[in-house]
Every structure is written in structure tokens, then in C-alpha cells.
Amino acid sequence: MDTPRTPGSTRLDGGPRGAELLDDPVRNRGTAFTEDERARLGLHGLLPPHVEGLDEQAARAYEAYGLKDDDLERHIYLRALQDTNEVLFYRLLLDHIEEMTPIVYTPVVAKACERFSHIYRRPRGLFVSYPMRDAIPTLLANRPNREVDVIVVTDGERILGIGDQGAGGLGIPIGKLSLYTLIGGIRPERTLPIVLDVGTNNAERLEDPEYLGWRHERIGGEDYFDFIDQFVGAVERELPGVCLQWEDFATPHARPILERYRDRLLTFNDDIQGTAAVALGALLGAIGVTGKRLRDQQIVFLGAGSAAVGVADYLRAALVQDGLSEAEARGRFWMVDKDGLLHAGRPDLTPDQRVYAQPEDRVAGRPRTSRGAVGLADVIGRVEATVLIGLSTVGGAFAEPIVREMARKVDRPVIFPLSNPTARSEASPEDLIRWTGGRALVATGSPYPPVRHEGRTIPIAQCNNVFIFPAVGLGVVATGARRVTDAMMLAAARALGGQSPALADPNGSLLPALRDIRAVARAIAEAVGAEAQRAGLAPQTTPEELRARVAAAQWTPGYPQA
Ligand SMILES: O=C([O-])CC(=O)C(=O)O
Ligand SMILES: [Mg+2]
């Protein structure tokens, strides 16, 4: 495990005392308050007499955790611990990072959002509700901690794969920020989860007598964007320089919000940019394993929605960085959606999709499906595809003949079925490995167990944005960057790809293990900071100083001597 670098919680003296101190999750040390602290801070009598160390506290907390018998109960236990003693919470998470990350974050956090109103115990973060729209600066001023480095905000409309959760969506910013601290080392008291409660169209929530959000259908249109504008304006005034991460907004809102604010403040959209960066990182790792150049790839996508276009945009930028012209890079993409290959003759394409339309003369003469479209099997039959990416949500779409045909022509086919949840995955890793005689390099969107093949155990990397956003946060906080650019995201993806265990170990995963993720986050943060400096978006330092700043900014839970 990591050695502590910047241990500790906030200073004790000058803050609350007595029972009030025990009620402050940032400063509370519970049974670990020393005799001297107990005397100084008016705690004698309020705590059992035995003084524990953090190790003992963590062991006791783990024992209590072990008594819970379902995942939602485990989540509730950990959230309660977070609201009691943050140092202990993060120490427990660090000690059991592989076991507990899925409990505080995806997938269990989805259940916590659905059940938000029913499992609600204590407030955390901010509820910015539409009826309070004229008082947003006041709500922000009421935040529990003055200094904030990172905000994660959602409007709860498209939570993970479970849709509109209204105010219950707050569970996602809470979970994401826990990982900002656990992995990126952003100090817990400098994070702020926010839900923009603009109503919900989820009938179950609206009819639930216990629903805690604003009981109203969603605000839309101009009113919605005006509200977002009021919120952003208030954030700029109250918390200038804060990193503002947009999370789980519905597609029609996500992109316009990003475009509107990305050049105005330090902000990014995790679902668009973070997800694309992690997919690119895993791809770069895989292509590194094949021993081929990025510029030599032919890339086929199944699915051409916003997630697919986001991944393609980053991949295209990486192809250009690798020496291709813009036109050559575009020509490497074969995108297929439910109406077949994207080509210049299709009238239905959005401007974002049109970038990837193949010229008609490259399509002419290809066999067509009965509906006249060029399908995935046709494309794989004609193109020497080296990379196949699925973001189609069509379960099983990477059928055996398609995969076998691809593997007939290339030695190490790179195949990423990225759709969620598992039932929508374009193929199972086990089938992909079997159909390709163990040659496929696979990463997925859903979690899968390792695959056994001819005596090997092949771990399956899950492309989740957790590999990117905490590290990007660490990079911008450590360097004082003013913007999050796509070039910084590409730098993050490259650094992640460079850390792929598969590069050194033929049986390694394409993405790092969670137990190594804090060290990986520092490497990514340095790359992000260096790109910000190169672009003039952060104060210049030497590379050594950059490295030292990143290391110093990564908080590790501990109780410093007061
Ligand atoms: O949180 C996750 O696991 C990935 C993500 O951002 C999403 O699905 O919206
Ligand atoms: Mg998300």
C-alpha cells in the first residue's frame, strides 16, 4: 500500500469541541482521540476509556462491515461511517479497495440512488432545487466547508444505466467524490457533491409518498438552461477556480452544457470525456501489446451514438498525433449503426456523425443487407479490421462468424464490447477468447470474471471512468490548471495506456488493478499537469517540481499529531 504523504484531517484546535466535535466527520477521531486531546477538547466522559489507533479502529469497522448481509446494507454502513469519521472511512476503503469500491461506487451506488429517499440518514452535499432558483448563491454559501477543490454535480436524469432518479441522483456525486479522495487524494473536506433538483419524470418516484425531492415533473427547455446558467454563475462567484464535473446528465443536455462552459471555467463531463479517455487508454494499451503502430489501425464501431462518437473523436485525435492527416484518420473509421454503415449518402446523420461517414465510392460495390444497408458482417468481411468497438447496446451483436472472420485476418484482434449492463454487452469475453483461440485483446464495459483458456487465466479489464476522473482532479488541483481541455484528457488516456499491465505481462489486464490505482493516478495527474503547463493553462514548473506537487497533493488518511 502507499506510504502516507499528506496524512491527516483538519486541525483540531480552534474548531468545535466536545459533543459537537464528535459530530464533525472531518475532525472526529472517535476512540482514537488521545488522552491529551480528550482533556484539551472537552471529550472526557464522551468516549469509552480505551484509546485506539487507526489500525485498531479500521479492524473493528471491518468486523462490523462483515456482519452486513447484503450490498445495500454494506453501502449504508460505509456511508454512515463516512458521515461519522472520514479518516476512518477512507482508511477502511484503502485497506479493502478491491472489495469496497463496488460497494461505495458502481454497481451498488445505483441501488443507493434508487432507494435514496428510503435509506436517507444525514445530509451530505447540497440540494439545489428549482423552487430555490433565486437563492442559489445563498445555498452555495451554506456549504459545510469553505474551501472546495472539486464539485461533482448531476441533475439525476440519466443515472448510470437506470435513468431518471430525481433528487436520489445525489448518490452519484457522493460516490464519485469518495473516489476522488480515495484514489486522487483530493482532501475529503474540499469536495462538494451537488444535485440540481429540477424535478423528475420517474412516475415511481413521483408517486412514492417518501420521495424527498421536489415533487414535480422535470423543468425543460429555456427554463432548464437558464437554471443551469444561474447555477454556474453562482459557482463562479462563490468558488472561483473550483473544478466542476458534470455527471449523468441526459444526452440532449450533456453536450450543450459542456460546450457552453468548457472555455469559461475549469470543467468537464465525465460521461463524455472521462469515458472516452478510459476507452482510449485501454485501446492504446492493447495496441501496444499487438506491437503495431496506432496509425496502422482500421477501426470498426458498432453503434454511432454520442458515446461512440466521443470515443471515436479521441481515437481520431490520437491517430493525428501519430502522424496521419485529418482525412487519413477519418478514413480509418467504419461506423455501423442500426441503419448500417455511416456513409456520405445517408441523410440522417448528425454533424458529429458525418465526420465518420465513408465516401460513397468506398461503399459502392459492397454487398448489402436486404434493407440495402452495409451491415457489420459486410464491413468485417471487406475491411482488415484490427479494432472492433461495441457501443450499440445490442447484446450478442459480435456474433461468432464476425469474430472468427476478423481473427482470420489479424493476429491479435482488439475487441471491446463496451455496452452496459451485462445483458447488452456485444459479446462475452469468454466467447471472444474462445472464438479467437486466445488471441483477442478484450476490454468490456460491464464487469466480467477472468477467463480460463488453455491453462492461462486472462483478466478482463472493465473500461470505467474511475481510471480517469480522480487522476484528472489530482492533476488540476496539484498544478492549479485553469481549464480541462481535450488535450489534457488525451494526455491522461496516453498515460493510462502506458500503465497497462498487459504491456509487460502477456497474462496481464489491459487496465491497472485497483490496488495500484493511486500510483497510476499520480502518473496520469503528472501527464495532465504537464499538458496544462504546455498549453499555458497552469503555472510552469520543472518536471521534478510537478511530480513533487502531485505527490504532495495526494491526501492519505491518517491522524496527524495536533
Ligand atoms: O459511474 C460509472 O460507473 C460510469 C459512469 O459514469 C456512468 O455509467 O454514468
Ligand atoms: Mg456517469
List phi, psi (to 5°) of 538. Answer: -150, 150
Whether residue 413 sits in one domain with residue 480: no
365 falls in which pLDDT band (50, 70, 90)?
low
- Structural domain that includes position 360: 273-463
Q: Is 465 in the pocket of ligand 1 (CB under 6 A)?
A: yes
From CA 511, how far away is CA 460, in angstroms rounded?
9
From CA 367, how far away is CA 360, in angstroms rounded?
13
Side-chain-side CA neighbours of 535 within 13 Å: the count stands at 18
| 7 pLDDT above the threshold of 50 | no
Asked if 492 contacts 550 with a C-beta cutoff of 8 angstroms, the reply is: no
Q: Is 157 in the pocket of ligand 1 (CB under 6 A)?
A: no
pLDDT tens column, 68-94: 999 999 999 999 999 999 999 999 999
Mean pLDDT, residues 274-302: 96
Closest ligand to the CA of 470: 1
From CA 4, how far away is CA 476, in angstroms rounded?
21
Q: Is 160 in the pocket of ligand 1 (CB under 6 A)?
A: yes
**DSSP line for 415-447:** EEE--SSGGG-SS-HHHHHHHTTT--EEEESS-
pLDDT > 90 fraction of the chain, expressed in percent and rounded: 92
pLDDT at 2: 39
Q: Is 106 in the pocket of ligand 1 (CB under 6 A)?
A: yes
In three-state secondary structure terms, 4 is coil
> How far is ligand 1, taken at its centre, from the CA of residue 37, in Å?
42
Whether residue 256 sits in one domain with residue 127: yes
- Whether residue 100 is contained in a domain is answered as no
- Whether residue 3 is contained in a domain is answered as yes
- Whether residue 99 is contained in a domain is answered as no
Whether residue 329 sits in one domain with residue 248: no
Angle between helices 543-553 and 469-479 (to 10 degrees): 120
Is 247 part of any known ligand binding site? yes
Give the 3-state DSSP-derived string for 487-502, with helices as H, strands as E and coil as C. Answer: HHHHHHHHHHHHCCHH
**CB-neighbour burial class of residue 185 (10 A; exposed 0-12, middle 13-18, buried 19+):** buried
User: Which of 63, 93, 123 is the endpoint of a domain?
Assistant: 93
From CA 300, how far away is CA 340, in angstroms rounded?
12
Asked if 62 contacts 181 with a C-beta cutoff of 8 angstroms, the reply is: no
C-alpha cell at 537: 493553462
Whether residue 254 sits in one domain with residue 176: yes
Single out the catalytic residue among 105, 180, 261, 559: 105
Whether residue 253 sits in one domain with residue 282: no
From CA 500, how far away is CA 523, in angstroms rounded?
12
* Contacts of range 310-313, beta carbons closer than 8 Å, 24 or more positions apart: 310/272, 310/273, 310/275, 310/276, 311/275, 311/276, 311/279, 311/280, 311/389, 311/391, 311/418, 312/355, 312/356, 313/276, 313/355, 313/486
Q: Is 77 a catalytic residue?
A: no
1 falls in which pLDDT band (50, 70, 90)?
very low
Q: Do strands 333-337 and 340-341 pair parallel, antiparallel, or not at all (unpaired)?
A: antiparallel
From CA 25, how far away is CA 29, in angstroms rounded?
8
> How far is ligand 1, taken at its centre, from the CA of residue 160, in Å?
5
Whether residue 117 sits in one domain with residue 84: no
Q: Is 270 in the pocket of ligand 1 (CB under 6 A)?
A: yes
As for how many domains the chain has, the answer is: 4
420 falls in which pLDDT band (50, 70, 90)?
confident
Location of C-alpha cell 476503503: 93
Mean pLDDT, residues 134-153: 97
Whether residue 125 sits in one domain with residue 210: yes
User: Which of 265, 298, 324 is the endpoint of a domain?
Assistant: 265
Helix (H) or strand (E) run with residue 42 in it:
none
Whether residue 176 sits in one domain with residue 33: no
Residue 354: closest CA among 343, 362, 364, 363: 343
Whether residue 380 sits in one domain with residue 231: no
Whether residue 392 sits in one domain with residue 494: no
pLDDT tens column, 326-362: 999 999 999 999 999 999 999 999 999 999 999 987 8
Side-chain-side CA neighbours of 78 within 13 Å: the count stands at 30
Mean pLDDT, residues 480-506: 97
**DSSP line for 511-554:** S--GGGHHHHHHHHHHHHHHHHHHTTSS----HHHHHHHHHHHS
| 30 pLDDT above the threshold of 90 | yes
Report the nearest-CA residue for atom 6 of ligand 1: 271
Q: Is 176 a catalytic residue?
A: yes
5 falls in which pLDDT band (50, 70, 90)?
very low
pLDDT tens column, 513-528: 999 999 999 999 999 9
Residues 6+ apart with CB under 8 A from 243: 149, 150, 151, 266, 267, 473, 476, 477, 484
- Structure ipTM: 0.97
> How far is ligand 1, taken at its centre, from the CA of residue 465, in Å?
7
pLDDT tens column, 385-419: 999 999 999 999 999 999 999 999 999 999 999 99
**Which CATH number covers residue 193?**
3.40.50.10380
User: Which of 265, 284, 299 is the endpoint of a domain?
Assistant: 265
| 562 pLDDT above the threshold of 70 | no
- Whether residue 561 is contained in a domain is answered as no
> How far is ligand 1, taken at its centre, from the CA of residue 178, in Å?
14
In three-state secondary structure terms, 332 is coil
Location of C-alpha cell 464501431: 301
List phi, psi (to 5°) of 535. Answer: -85, 0
Whether residue 305 sits in one domain with residue 256: no
- Whether residue 98 is contained in a domain is answered as no
Whether residue 354 sits in one domain with residue 237: no
- Whether residue 14 is contained in a domain is answered as yes
